[in-house]
Amino acid sequence: MSAPTFVDVCSGGGGLALGLEQAGFEPRMLLDDDALAVTTLRTNRPQWDVLHTDLLDFDPAEHPVCYDVDLLSAGLPRVKSSATVGRTDSHVEERLLRATVYLAHAIRPRAVLIENVPGLALSGRYQRFRDFARAELTHLGYECTWFVVNAVDFGVPQNRRLGLLVAVERQWAESFRVPEPTVRQPTTVGTVLGPSMASRGWQDAVRWAAQADQPAPTLVGGSKNRGGADLGPTGAKRKWAAMGVNGHTVGDEVPGADFVWAPALGRDNMVKITAAQAALLQGFPESWEIAGRKTARYRQIGHATPPPVGRAVGRAIAVALNEDPAISDAG
C-alpha cells in the first residue's frame, strides 16, 4: 500500500512536516513565506517540493500536485492575544486560518490538520473561527474534532500546550481517535541537554543537569518586529532561573571548561541555552539544521510544532484513513 500524502502550508522550520514524515506520510508540497524557513526545509530534505510563497497568494490550480492528497496540514502562526488587537498585523493570523479552510475547499484532502494556540480549541475568543471552520468543513463532508495536547506527554522536554483541529471526511471520521500520551514520565531539560552542556569540557555539566530536573516552560519564538531572542515572558524566565539558566537571551555556544556556574551571583553566572539546544527541547533531532543567524534560528524553532506531536497526531489520522468504512459502519 502506498504511503499517505500531504500538503503542508506555513511550514516554518518543518516541525509538523517532519512529524508527519515520521508518521509515514509523504509530502507533495510545502510552502512558507519566510526565505530562511524555506532554506531550512530544502537543506534538510532536498527531495521535498518546497515553495517560497505566502499562503494568501497561493493558487493550487497552478500546482496540480496538491490535488488528491490525503491530508492538508498547517502549523499556523499563533493567533494574537487581545493585547495586540490594535496592531496593523493583528488579523493576519486569522486570515491564514481561514485561508487554510478555503484551501481545503479547493484541494479536498481526506483530512485536515490545523495546529495553533490552545485557545483556538477552547477559548470563547476564537469561537467565531471555530463556528466558521465547522460550518465550512461540515458542508464539505468533514467531521471536526477540536482538542488540546501537551507536548510533554509525547516525550518532548517542554510544557507546551497546543490547540488542534482535525477534520476527517465523514466515512472515516468515526475511526479518528485523539492520540493518547506516549510517555508516563516527563523528560527533563537536564536529561536532554546534559550531553551538549558537557561537550566543551564544562566540569559542572553533570551537576547542572541533575538540578534541571523538570521540563522546560513553553519556548516562544517572538515576532520578526521584535528585538533579540529570549526564552519567553517573565514567568518562563523565572522557571529558567530556578534551573540556573539565563532566560533573557539565547547563547552563542555552550559553556566552556572554565565557566563558573553560580546562579546566586546573577545572570552572568547562569548558563545560556543555544538555538541548537532549543531545537532539542522542541523535539527536533540533532541532525536537523536550522538556517540563519541566532535570532532567526531561534524564532523558527520557537514557532515550530514539536515533531513528536506531529508524529502522534499523524499516526492517529493515518489509522483513521486506513480504516475500511464498510467495516466501521458494520461495527
The percentage of the chain sitting over the pLDDT mark of 90, rounded to a whole number, equals: 85
Distance CA 287, CA 283 (A): 11
Domains of the chain: 5-183+305-330 (3.40.50.150), 189-301 (no CATH)
Backbone phi, psi, residue 112, to 5° = -130, 135
pTM of the model: 0.93
* pLDDT at 201 (0 to 100): 97
Grid coordinates representing 7?
500538503
DSSP string, 142-168: EEEEEEEEEGGGGT-SB--EEEEEEEE
pLDDT class of 241 with cuts at 50, 70, 90? very high
Distance CA 241, CA 264 (A): 10
* pLDDT at 330 (0 to 100): 39
Average pLDDT over residues 204-220: 96
* pLDDT at 71 (0 to 100): 98
Tens digit of each residue's pLDDT (9 = 90 or more) over 46-70 = 999 999 999 999 999 999 999 999 9
Tens digit of each residue's pLDDT (9 = 90 or more) over 70-100 = 999 999 877 554 434 444 445 777 899 999 9
Distance CA 111, CA 323 (A): 13
**CB of 239 within 8 A of CB of 219?**
no
∠ CA 74-76-78 to the nearest 5 degrees? 155
Would you tell me the crossing angle of helices 92-107 and 127-140 to the nearest 10 degrees?
10
Q: Up-side HSE of residue 250: CA atoms within 13 Å toward CB?
A: 25
Q: Rg (Cα) of the chain, in Å, rounded?
A: 20
* pLDDT at 324 (0 to 100): 63
* pLDDT at 78 (0 to 100): 72
Inform me whether the pLDDT recorded for 266 exceeds 70: yes
**CB of 70 within 8 A of CB of 321?**
yes
Range of lowest pLDDT (181-195, 269-283, 285-299, 315-329): 315-329
Output helix, strand, coil percentages for the chain, rounded to the nearest 5.
45, 15, 40
What single-letter amino acid sits at 254? V
SS3 state of residue 251: strand
Look at residues 292, 302, 248, 272 and name the one whose alpha carbon lies nearest to residue 196. 272
The chain-wide mean pLDDT, for the chain, equals 92
- Give me the numbers of helices (H) and strands (E) for the chain, helices first please: 13, 7
Sign of CA dihedral 113, 286, 274, 280: positive
| Placement of cell 508527519 in the chain | 20
* pLDDT at 223 (0 to 100): 67
| Placement of cell 506531529 in the chain | 310
| Placement of cell 477540536 in the chain | 146
Q: Up-side HSE of residue 251: CA atoms within 13 Å toward CB?
A: 21
The percentage of the chain sitting over the pLDDT mark of 70, rounded to a whole number, equals: 92
pLDDT class of 228 with cuts at 50, 70, 90? low
The partner residues of 147 in beta bridges, in order of sequence, read 164
**CB of 51 within 8 A of CB of 31?**
yes
Tens digit of each residue's pLDDT (9 = 90 or more) over 122-162 = 899 889 999 999 999 999 999 999 999 999 999 999 999 99
* pLDDT at 88 (0 to 100): 44
